[in-house]
Each structure stands twice: as C-alpha cells, then as structure tokens.
C-alpha cells in the first residue's frame, strides 16, 4: 500500500456525541456502482452528458416521475417540462439524492433548466446540470457533467478547493478559519447520530502520530451511495475544520483522500455537496 503519512492509526468516539445511538458496523459505499447504481460520471448513462450541447430552457413542470433510465440503474427523478416551444423530459438524478433535498419540485412549478440536450432511445431529453425555482437553484452537475452525488474524484489537485445542511445547527459548526489536514489510519467506521433529531451519519475514528480524533463525514444516505469505500485500517488524509464537539476535539471533513481518489464532502466555505439547493 502506498504510504501517505509518516505514522497513522485510531479514535473512539462514543461519548463524543449528544446521542450515542449506534447502529451495526456499516458496509457503506457501493463500489463499482458509480455513485448509486449506474449514476456515476464514468457509467454509460453518465457519459451521455455532452458539454457541447448545453442550453437553458424555461417552462412549467407538467409531471414528476420516478423512472429507470437504463436497465440495471436505480430509479431517477424525471420531469416533463412545457416551454413555449415544446414539451421535453428533463432528467435530474438518482431518486435517493433528489428526494433528500430540502426544496421539492412539483407539478405547476415554474422552473429554469440548464443542461445537456441529447437523444436517448430516439427521444430528445435534457440531462439537467442546474434547476432554478424562484430564488433557489439546485446544482446537479458541474460544467463538465460531474454529478453532485458522486463525491469521489480521481487524480485531482488535493490542495484545491434531516439536519445536515450548511445552515443547520450542526452545519454552522464548520469553521473555515480552523481548516487543517491530518494523516492517519482508520480504526473505526460507524453510524452515529451527532445531534438529537438528526439522521444517522457516517463517522470515522482516525489515529495520527499525535492524537486520536473523530472525523465526521456526512449523512449516511449520501455516504453509503458513493462508489468507493473507506474501511478500517485504511490510510487516509483528511482536510477539514477542527472543532470542539461536546468538549472533545473533532474534525468535520471537507475532503478525504485515499490512495489516488478524493471524496469531496464540503467546499471551502463548508457548504455540503449533498445540499444541492442554493439560495440567492
């Protein structure tokens, strides 16, 4: 195994959280599933996004459906949008991601869609990169078509940039002024509810050459749908905000690096990748 740090190793985080409600040791991540059963950028469906056919349409949502775009994929949320020129299907993304967003899209909503117009099975559709509804915008893919729900990236510049939102009590703990990078060995992977009323999150225990520290990743519904897995004994590099949580040190992770892959979790301001909606 490629050595990433001089010394690595453990953190036991029971007692760190307001709720010690633990679940069984999770087997999270769906390796090879492309961020949730065929939805990854490298999958056949993901490669349909064409940066050369980006356009913006405006219209009214006629219907919202769960559709399986291709055999073997999980269900996705698709819209039928009526503009002043046409009715066109708009593909958003996997249902597990869309349905966990705070703002919903419903029939009769007036929206603006930016995305790639393609031909799929003899029909013209748009694979959405961004949806605007009123003052909110849902960012689904970046300018290269990389989905927001696929947190793992390969060969990038590591030095670059229900309660889990940036504006929540927990989310506001992230402090851009306390960003640091640690290296260590994962000694534990578990699901824990960090604050009463939140959904379960995936957290690590990491041992460095100086300390044992808790590393908070994010909501289980997001982490468990990624296409790579972090397991006990993995050597990792974590970049994130050091905080005091219930009287003990912890890191809310922004990036986690494992070998040549990086799991993107939050941007430089602590905005989570799983919170697709942005307000002006």
What tokens does 254 get? 């922004």
Backbone phi, psi, residue 61, to 5°:
-75, 120
pTM assigned to the model: 0.54
Residue 42 confidence class, pLDDT cut points 50, 70, 90: low
Domains and CATH numbers, the chain: 8-35+151-279 (2.40.50.140), 46-139 (2.40.50.140)
Three-state secondary structure call for residue 51? helix
pLDDT at 167 (0 to 100): 63
Bigger pLDDT: 121 or 22? 121
pLDDT tens-place string over residues 106-130: 999 999 999 999 998 889 999 999 9
Q: What is the pLDDT of residue 148?
A: 84
Work out the pLDDT band at 276, boundaries 50, 70, 90.
Answer: low
Most confident of 28-37, 51-60, 136-145: 51-60
Answer yes or no: is pLDDT of 152 > 70: no
Per-residue pLDDT at 11: 32
Q: How many helices (DSSP H) and strands (DSSP E) are in the chain? A: 2, 15
CB 227 within 8 A of CB 215: no
**Token match 């919903």: residue?**
104
Output phi, psi for 52, to 5 deg. -85, -5
Most confident of 17-31, 76-90, 182-196: 76-90
């Amino acid at each position: 195994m490629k050595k990433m740090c001089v010394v690595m190793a453990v953190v036991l985080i029971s007692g760190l959280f307001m709720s010690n409600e633990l679940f069984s040791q999770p087997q999270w991540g769906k390796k090879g599933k492309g961020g949730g059963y065929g939805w990854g950028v490298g999958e056949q469906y993901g490669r349909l996004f064409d940066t050369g056919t980006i356009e913006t349409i405006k219209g009214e949502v006629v219907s919202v459906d769960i559709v399986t775009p291709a055999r073997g994929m999980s269900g996705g949320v698709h819209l039928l949008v009526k503009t002043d020129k046409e009715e066109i299907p708009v593909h958003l993304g996997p249902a597990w991601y869309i349905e966990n967003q705070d703002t919903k899209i419903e029939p009769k909503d007036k929206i603006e869609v930016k995305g790639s117009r393609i031909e799929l099975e003899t029909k013209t559709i748009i694979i959405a990169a961004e949806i605007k509804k009123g003052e909110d915008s849902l960012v689904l893919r970046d300018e290269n078509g990389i989905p927001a729900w696929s947190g793992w990236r390969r060969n990038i510049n590591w030095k670059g940039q229900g309660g889990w939102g940036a504006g929540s009590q927990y989310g506001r703990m992230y402090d851009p002024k306390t960003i640091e990078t640690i290296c260590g060995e994962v000694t534990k992977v578990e699901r824990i509810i960090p604050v009463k009323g939140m959904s379960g999150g995936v957290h690590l225990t990491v041992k460095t050459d100086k300390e044992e520290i808790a590393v908070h990743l994010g909501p289980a519904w997001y982490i468990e749908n990624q296409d790579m897995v972090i397991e006990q004994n993995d050597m990792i590099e974590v970049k994130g905000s050091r905080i005091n949580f219930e009287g003990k040190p912890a890191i809310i992770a922004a990036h986690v690096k494992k070998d040549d892959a990086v799991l993107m979790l939050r941007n430089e301001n602590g905005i989570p990748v799983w919170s697709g909606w942005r307000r002006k």
